[in-house]
Amino acid sequence: MTKRSNFARAALALMFAVFGAAALPAVAAETSAESDGFAIAARMSTLGLGAEAHVPFSRYLKLRLGFNVFSLNYTDTQEDVDFNVDARLRTGAALLDWFPAAGGFRFSFGAMYNGNELKGAAHPRENTTIGDIEYTPAQIGTLSANVEFPNLAGYAGIGFGNATSPGSRLAVLFDIGVMFHGSPTLRLSADGALAGNPAFQAELEKERQSIEEDFAKVARFYPVISLGLAFRF
């Protein structure tokens, strides 16, 4: 999937939110003088820890800008393979929140920057099949993998809690949705005795394609569950 198609998908998601909300007579009739207050919020979610700003256009339609970060390093041994996984989550969001009843329930749509990345290294202790051929640990060495995702993604979800509503300055926010970013790209390499062998590289490419195809079946979408606390100014 090209960067152009990724951008188009994210842009369409944002446009859908804009035009869908603008079609509501209640939103069109709302004046800026009746808008709620500006708010900031802290978040804890499946995307990591984050912060965001809530800017109201009206009681029914509001802009949400935010970012999330998280890092995790995990080391283990399974089935005679030593492996290490390094996950780095980096996302940014520009979302429109539509409150159909001007209350706490909302629909959210928009575009996200996806800087998530997974890196891994595996060192087999016994003979291991790469592609269609079995190799020794010395021939393979360390297998290194790097999974990258398209930079632009769309988001759709629902939520509860109104950060900018008049009343209490504090609000609890809960969101559940999905980030759809398309198929990830996998890079796979080895540094063993056969690292420079063309036949071994051909089998390594078979292995890479097989893993990438399996991963793509479950990794096109990323579930987002978020809990936050907002402060209204």
Residue ranges per structural domain of the chain: 3-232
User: Percentage of the chain with pLDDT > 70?
Assistant: 84
Q: Cα(95)–Cα(93) distance, rounded to whole angstroms? A: 6
Average pLDDT over residues 14-34: 42
Q: From 3.40.1160.10, 3.30.460.10, 1.10.640.10, 2.40.160.170, which CATH number describes the 3-232 domain? A: 2.40.160.170
Q: How confident is the model at residue 78 (pLDDT cuts 50, 70, 90)?
A: confident
Q: How confident is the model at residue 22 (pLDDT cuts 50, 70, 90)?
A: very low
How is residue 4 written in tokens?
A: 């152009």
| Beta bridge partners of residue 6, listed in sequence order | none
Average pLDDT over residues 78-92: 85
Least trusted range by pLDDT, from 41-45, 56-60, 164-168: 164-168
pTM: 0.74
Q: How confident is the model at residue 185 (pLDDT cuts 50, 70, 90)?
A: confident
User: Percentage of the chain with pLDDT > 90?
Assistant: 52
Residue 53's contacts (CB-CB under 8 Å, 6 or more residues apart) are 38, 39, 40, 41, 64, 65, 66
pLDDT for the residue numbered 17: 42
pLDDT for the residue numbered 173: 97
Range among 22-26, 63-67, 124-128 rated most confident: 63-67
pLDDT for the residue numbered 214: 81
pLDDT for the residue numbered 37: 80
Average pLDDT over residues 186-208: 91
Asked if residues 146 and 187 have their Cβ atoms less than 8 Å apart, the reply is yes
| Beta bridge partners of residue 176, listed in sequence order | 158, 225
Asked whether residue 5 carries a pLDDT value surpassing 80, the answer given is no
Q: How confident is the model at residue 162 (pLDDT cuts 50, 70, 90)?
A: very high
